[in-house]
Structure 1
Amino acid sequence: MSQTVPDRRSALSEVRALEPADKAELCALLDRDPAVNVFVRHRVDTTGLHEGLLGGRIWGYHEDGVLVSACHAGANVVPVEATPAAIDAFAERLLIDDHRAASVVGPREQVDPLWRLLAPHWGPARSPRPVQPFLELNGPTATSPDLRLRRVMIDEFELLYPACVAMFREEVGVDPEAGGALNYRARVSQLIASGWSFAIIEDDRVLFKAEVGAATAQACQIQGVWVHPDLRGTGLSAGALAAMVDQVRLLIAPIVTLYVNERNVPARALYERVGFTQTATFASYLL
């Protein structure tokens, strides 16, 4: 292990799994950038750092007893404010635990060095996405909203579900129903029940849909933007997304974020048209 992960830690550094008693200190760390760290802060808020609810752990890296970095280690590995020494320590911890994740994702300057340490053991990545502009919108949208856009009702689950599956296959490159549809159906249902699923539905057909995947009092993250194939290129998505942003900022959180693949030129043009601006760069390695 020492040959794979160089040790740049001081004698007074420590890595340990964070517990409910650590929540206030971790939240202070996450709130250094509430937009970039919205996913992990959402996980902390909804689980209280109870390991059984997390479905994994959040590792903390301490120096002289002070929490300086963290790493969400569940289905998604997400570093938080990770210093070079913390990245070494997190990689070592993940490898010792023989952790298995579906992705490594987060700010590029933290994810890339972490992935370099993990790749010899976890790689190759099924889908490397090394440059993903991270976008924010915290004010009025730049285009007129499509007033047909609304929250999805729970009795519309069966209408919405095929669009969610189609989006997942297109974006992630795998079938969310592989091995059984129960878990993915539960996730889609949960988002609808939370009021986080938005769509334009006409004549029992989903024209546009997207969800809020994570949210805190300060920020939220949009995911799963999808337009019916027959309507792509018609301009529908700009008004629909603008309407969603307006509603989300009113109902859920004032800062709306998302990240997008660098090579997805149409999507990047859409987000710019609606009013999003790039504030950081993410990287994702899908396993």
Structure 2
Amino acid sequence: MLRTSGVRTLSAADVDDARALCDLDRVHNVFVAARLDEGLLGAGGVAFGLGGSPLRSMVWASANVVPVNLASEDVARYASRLRRGKRRFASLFGPADQTLALWNHLRGSFGEPMSYRPEQPLMLASRSAREKTGVTPDRRVRPARRDDLDALVPAAAAMFTEEIGYRPYVGSDAVYRAGIARLVEQGRTYVVTEGDEIVFKADVGSLASGVAQIQGVWVAPSHRGRGLAAPCMAAVADLVEQAHADTVSLYVNDYNLPALRAYLTAGFERVGTFATVIL
């Protein structure tokens, strides 16, 4: 049997060491850093680690499996620990080399994935790149308000369903709506409206260590093909830099060519590669 000695369950006492590990690469690790800052470790959030203080590596393992600083020689031990827990996960994602190595050890235990996305450009907003492309930010972009929720919830659900392949809730939307409302209250959702309709939206999904990771970017089907996304995303980058973080990032499916073109035009530049396996 493969030895898993050294891989331990992290607790709230490990938060400082876990945060220091994330800050070795604050752009790639912002998702886990944000969950730590939200106080989730030891309060419903599960993570495993190698090492004491400092930690050598870790894997966030709650609804999603997200590796942080995994060396190739550690992957099999983490995979064994994840299998032993017999938990069900929604996805694996993170830096492509670490995520795919981990998945290669886990695939026999978790069956065929719903979606396998090995090449997702990780991009950073650049003011100089925005100046070079000559994009004019769409000044209609603004932080969402509470009175946008009735239009925002179905827009967010439509985006999730298109991206993941199933609806984000079954039955009542109360829990889902509450999560969207929290982002709105934090000033982390941006929209363009025309009348009562949301025609563009984007969220700051993770925020930590001066990095804001954008997710949930969506253009209403009726407004696609009009060149709306690039100027809206340029405006989002400006607003997020002013309100939340000096570094604005996102990652995108490599096959989504319209989105890639829009982000490049909006002044985002590729700095790495993520991968996602949806289970």
Structure-2-length-normalised TM-score: 0.94
User: Does 1:60 pair with 2:49?
Assistant: yes
- 1:55-106 deviation digits (Å, cap 9, x = unpaired): 331111127x641101000111000001123211211111111021100001
Whole-angstrom CA distance in 2 between matches of 1:217 and 1:62: 23
2:75 to 87, 96, 99: 87
Per the TM alignment, residue 212 of structure 1 is displaced from its structure 2 partner at its CA by 0.6
- 1:10-57 deviation digits (Å, cap 9, x = unpaired): xxx6111222222222111111110110000000111163x22xx331
* 2:158 corresponding residue in structure 1: 166
Per the TM alignment, residue 185 of structure 1 is displaced from its structure 2 partner at its CA by 1.6
* 1:259 corresponding residue in structure 2: 251
1:198 to 190, 193, 209: 190
Unaligned runs of 5+ in 2: none
Per the TM alignment, residue 219 of structure 1 is displaced from its structure 2 partner at its CA by 0.3
Q: Which residue identity lines up with residue 100 of structure 1 in the other structure?
A: R
User: Does 1:181 pair with 2:173?
Assistant: yes
Q: 1:18-167 counterparts in 2 under 5 A?
A: 18-47=10-39, 49=41, 51-52=42-43, 55-62=44-51, 66-140=54-128, 141-142=130-131, 143-167=135-159
CA change 1:180–1:88 in 2 (3 A) is farther
* 1:268 corresponding residue in structure 2: 260
Whole-angstrom CA distance in 1 between matches of 2:70 and 2:171: 35
User: Does 1:244 pair with 2:232?
Assistant: no
SS state at 2:260 partner: helix
SS state at 2:250 partner: strand
Per the TM alignment, residue 182 of structure 1 is displaced from its structure 2 partner at its CA by 2.8
Per the TM alignment, residue 138 of structure 1 is displaced from its structure 2 partner at its CA by 4.4
Per the TM alignment, residue 180 of structure 1 is displaced from its structure 2 partner at its CA by 4.0
**8 Å contact from structure 1 (residues 18, 57) kept in 2:** yes
Q: Which residue identity lines up with residue 56 of structure 1 in the other structure?
A: G
Whole-angstrom CA distance in 2 between matches of 1:129 and 1:242: 26
**8 Å contact from structure 2 (residues 26, 209) kept in 1:** no
SS state at 2:240 partner: helix
**8 Å contact from structure 2 (residues 126, 269) kept in 1:** no
Per the TM alignment, residue 193 of structure 1 is displaced from its structure 2 partner at its CA by 1.2
Whole-angstrom CA distance in 1 between matches of 2:143 and 2:109: 43
SS state at 1:32 partner: helix
- 1:128-152 deviation digits (Å, cap 9, x = unpaired): 1111111112435342111110000
Paired residue total: 275
Structure-1-length-normalised TM-score: 0.91
- 1:242-283 deviation digits (Å, cap 9, x = unpaired): 111100011011111111111111111111111111111111
**8 Å contact from structure 1 (residues 217, 252) kept in 2:** no
Q: Percent identity?
A: 39
Unaligned runs of 5+ in 1: none
Find runs of 4+ consecutive structure 1 residues off by over 4 angstroms: none
Whole-angstrom CA distance in 2 between matches of 1:215 and 1:205: 27
Across the aligned residues of Structure 1 and Structure 2, the Cα RMSD in angstroms comes to 1.6
User: Does 1:233 pair with 2:222?
Assistant: no
**8 Å contact from structure 1 (residues 35, 218) kept in 2:** no
Whole-angstrom CA distance in 2 between matches of 1:76 and 1:149: 31
